[in-house]
Structure 1
Amino acid sequence: MKTISFAIPCYNSAAYMDTCIESVLKCGDDIEVIIVDDGSTKDDTAQKADEWARRRPDVIKAVHQENGGHGQAVNTGLANATGLYFKVVDSDDWLDERAMEEVMAYLRTQTDRESPTDLFIGNYVYEKVHEGTRTVMHYRNVFPEGREFSWSEAGHFNQSQYLLMHSVIYRTELLREVGIVLPAHTFYVDNIFVYVPLPAVKTICYRDVDMYRYFIGREDQSVNEDVMKSRIDQQLRITRIMIDAVKLPEDVPEKRLERYMENYLSMMMCISSVFLRMINTDEAEDKRDALWAYLREHNPEIYRRIRRSVLNIGTNLPTDLGRRIGITGYHMAQRIFKFN
């Protein structure tokens, strides 16, 4: 068995996928790289994937599928994975060689264990290449470092701290056991990936190393503000799926994890509300009301707690003044935390 399977979703990625793949290959020969060509048509992504598989058949698989979006590409990667662990690396991002030496050293210690660690967590770095700046997102204030632990030992996440797809490496069979399936043709599926499996995670290891480099700043990126407004219906869909997938608090017996997941869902509700208020149409206001009504109907207790949270009190103030206050608060957080 390979130590880890890396899934690399590629959609018209020919201009930058080589850099990503080369960084992953530096992790060693006991890895599996699954390049998922998501129906690319505008460049030679498919040919590049096949060429990589021909050059390194011992390590690389090239899988071609009809276009299904990032979520479907992750599903395909997981379906083809044979490694003990599973990690998604987006084709415009890359892994840090020195950090991955430490990551791989730990994962290799798990291959002979009867009960390997469920979740490995490392830092990720926002690389704003066009600005020449970088922001490291770490968890050293939250988790014990360098050993296996459980949620009961986790500390308090700061307001800007969340687990992202960039920072997690799951045990492959855990993802299959929870039946994780990401929706096709939908952006923001990474929120499901780092939320739904967490109650099944019993053991964790954190290393304070900057393993994942996340490129940010392209005009067409899904986190671009104008793009997010145009895709607001997909954001709303993901938020509803998260509401349905985990029933808080009863599905999460560990209190510290419950608090974290409640805060994550609160953040999702906040982002949805803010962008709907930015759109500023009657239809957008109706959608905002409908989303909150959906949460109230499906989980009245969590609705009351999230509606009163610091994130959402200002976001949902009535009147046009309230709308401006909510948007201003979002932009202040954006500058402080540099999340897009």
Structure 2
Amino acid sequence: MKSITFAIPCYNSAAYMDKCIESILACGGDQGCDDIEIVIVDDGSVKDDTAEKADRWEQLHPGIIKAVHQENGGHGQAVNTGLANASGLYFKVVDSDDWLDRRAMEDVMAYVRSQVGRCAPTDLIIANYVYEKVHESTRTIMHYRNVFPEGREFGWSEVGHFNPSQYLLMHSVIYRTELLRGMGLQLPKHTFYVDNIFVYVPLPHVKTIYYLDVDMYRYFIGRDDQSVNESVMMSRIDQQLRVTRIMIDAVQLPGDVPEKRLERYMENYLSMMMCICSIFLRMINTVDAEDERDAIWRYLKENNSDVYRRVRHSVLNMGTNLPTNLGRKIGITGYHVAQRIFKFN
């Protein structure tokens, strides 16, 4: 068995995928350990030579790199394909325009390798990620040292308080592969923002966690066509709404969550998702957008009325859903202030 599978969803990624792949190959160490696996998923690329590059990488590193080609199915389907082809004990998604830090990965890989052969390997490994705003020459480190114990395995009962800007993102997590398969994780096709489903829905199945305070993942921010670009998010608001509904349906709070601290975190995460839906619909500022905003809140109320009451009246969502045009402006201004303070997107 491989110690870990890295899945790289690639769609017209020829301009930057090499840096990503090279950073993952370095996880083999100076000795070139062959216990890692890289699954490059070519998601129906047609505008460049992504497919050919994937095949060349496989030829250069047989037994380590596997190129898989599929009809275009979107980021979620590429992750599904990566998981279906994974043979590693652990599974890590690395987007093709991002990369891994070599020094940090030495520590991460040491722990990953220590779990191979254990009767009950750790379910979830967490490390820090870094927003790399390349065009601004700035970076912001997102850590969890105030939330998680370090240097030992622990459970949800030992987790501390997450600050407003601290969420587990796809960038920071490494799941045990069979945990994801055992729960039947499947991400929707042709849908952006599915990373929220990936990092949220498996959490109630996680019993053991290990945190490393190292800056593992470098998250590139700055391309105009990037899914987290503000104008792009407004144009894809239907997909943000779809992902949020899937999350509401997938985990029934609190019944599906075994531990109070995890329940509180997941409720806060859902509150953040509802806030994003609300604020971008208010930015669109049309009658249809207001109808959609009412509809997503109604969906939450109909499917989990207790969570609806708490989330709707949270500080986060009271500010973003104030009535009247003035309330809309206040909510959008608050969002942009938070964006500057917490350095997201």
TM norm. shorter chain > 0.5: yes
Q: What residue is the counterpart of 1:10 in the other structure?
A: 10
Quote how far apart the aligned CAs of 1:305 are.
Answer: 0.3
Matches within 5 A, 1:87-126: 87-126=92-131
After superposition, the C-alpha distances for 1:4-55 in whole angstroms (9 at most, x for unaligned) are: 0000000000000000000000111210000000000000000000000001
Give, as a single letter, the amino acid of the residue that structure 1 aligns with 2:130. V
Q: What are the within-5 Å matches in structure 2 for residues 77-96 of structure 1?
A: 77-96=82-101
Query: 1:58 deviation in Å?
Result: 1.8
Q: Distance in 2 between matches of 1:17 and 1:316?
A: 40
Alpha-carbon distance, 1:178 to partner: 1.0
Of 16, 28, 38, 2:43 maps to 38
Which amino acid letter does the alignment assign opposite residue 299 of structure 2? Y
* 1:183 match: 188
Q: Say if 2:184 is the partner of 1:160.
A: no
What is the 5 A alignment of 1:239-254?
Answer: 239-254=244-259
Residues in 2 aligned to 1:52 and 1:208: alpha-carbon distance in whole angstroms: 31
For each residue in 1:128-157, what CA deviation from the matched residue of structure 2 results, as whole angstroms up to 9, or x when unmatched? Answer: 011110000000000001210000000000
Q: Deviations over 1:230-257 (max 9, x none)?
A: 0000000000000000000111120000
The answer to whether structure 1 residue 145 and structure 2 residue 125 are counterparts is no
Q: In the alignment, what sits opposite 1:290?
A: 295
Aligned mates of 2:205, 2:49 — CA distance in 1: 39
Cα distance in 2, alignment partners of residues 317 and 130 from structure 1 = 35
Q: In structure 1, how many angstroms separate the alpha carbons of the residues matched to 2:211 and 2:162?
A: 14
Deviation (angstroms), 1:337: 1.1
Name the counterpart of 1:59: 64
**Secondary structure at 1:148 match in 2:** coil
> Which one of 206, 210, 214 corresponds to residue 205 of structure 1?
210
Q: For residues 169 and 338 of structure 1, what CA distance do their matches in structure 2 show?
A: 23
Q: Secondary structure at the match of 1:149?
A: coil
Equivalents in 1 of 2:58, 2:85: separation in Å? Answer: 14
Deviation track 1:256-290 (CA, whole Å, cap 9, x = no partner) reads: 00000000000000000000000000000000000
Out of 314, 321, 324, the position equivalent to 2:326 is 321
Structure 1 residue matching 2:127: 3-state secondary structure: strand
Q: Give the structure-1-normalised TM-score.
A: 1.00
2:21 matched to 1:21? yes
After the TM superposition, list the runs of 4 or more consecutive aligned residues in structure 1 that deviate by more than 6 angstroms.
none
Partner of 2:138: 133
Residue in 2 aligned with 1:338?
343
* Secondary structure of the corresponding residue to residue 2 of structure 2: coil
AA of the residue aligned to 1:213: R
Give the letter for the 1:285 counterpart: E
Query: Alpha-carbon deviation of 1:329?
Result: 0.5
Amino acid at match of 2:138: T
Q: 1:307 aligns with which of 296, 304, 312?
A: 312
- Give the counterpart of 1:228 among 233, 248, 253: 233
Letter in 2 for 1:278: M
- Which residue identity is paired with 2:219? Y
Name the aligned partner's letter for residue 206 of structure 2. Answer: V
Q: TM-score normalised to the size of structure 2?
A: 0.98
Matched, 1:174 2:179: yes
User: What CA distance in whole angstroms lies between the structure 2 residues aligned with 1:303 and 1:251?
Assistant: 16
The residue aligned with 2:31 is none
TM-aligned CA deviation for residue 112 of structure 1: 1.4
**Superposed displacement of residue 338, structure 1:** 1.2
Aligned residue type for 1:14: A
1:275 to 257, 269, 280: 280
Q: Residue 70 of structure 1 aligns to which amino acid in structure 2?
A: H
Aligned residue pair count: 340
* C-alpha distance in structure 1 between counterparts of 2:54 and 2:109, whole Å: 24
Separation of aligned partners in 2, 1:337 and 1:64: 38
Deviations 1:93-124 (A, max 9, x none): 00000000000000111001100000000000
Runs of at least 5 residues in structure 1 that lack an aligned partner in the other structure:
none
Cα separation, 1, equivalents of 2:146 and 2:213: 10
Aligned CA RMSD, in angstroms, stands at 0.4
